[in-house]
Amino acid sequence: MKFSKQSSQYESDFTKFIKDMKAQDPELERKQREGRAIWWDKGPIDLDERKRQQESRVNQQAYVYQSK
C-alpha cells in the first residue's frame, strides 16, 4: 500500500550498502548463484536408488557408546 506523500526516492543504508558492494564486485551475483547451486539446488531424485538406500540402512542402537 503506497501513500501519496511517501517519497519513492528514499534508499535505506542497507540498500546503499548492497548497491555499493555489487558495484565493487560485478561477479558477486554470479558467485552467489554458484554457491546456492552447490548447497541448495538439487537434481531430481532417483526413487529406486533412494529406496535401496533406505532398505540397506542399519538401525543404530539407542545409546551408541554402550557395547553389548
Separation of alpha carbons 16 and 30, rounded Å: 20
Segment 54-65 shows an average pLDDT of 85
On whether the pTM is more than 0.75, the answer is: no
- How far is the C-alpha of 8 from the C-alpha of 17, rounded, in Å? 18
pLDDT tens across 1-48, in order?
566 566 678 999 999 999 999 999 999 999 999 999 888 888 888 999
Q: How many domains does the chain have?
A: 1
Segments forming the whole domain that contains residue 24: 11-39
30 falls within a domain = yes
35 occurs within a structural domain: yes
Is residue 65 assigned to a domain?
no
Whether 1 is in a domain gets the answer no
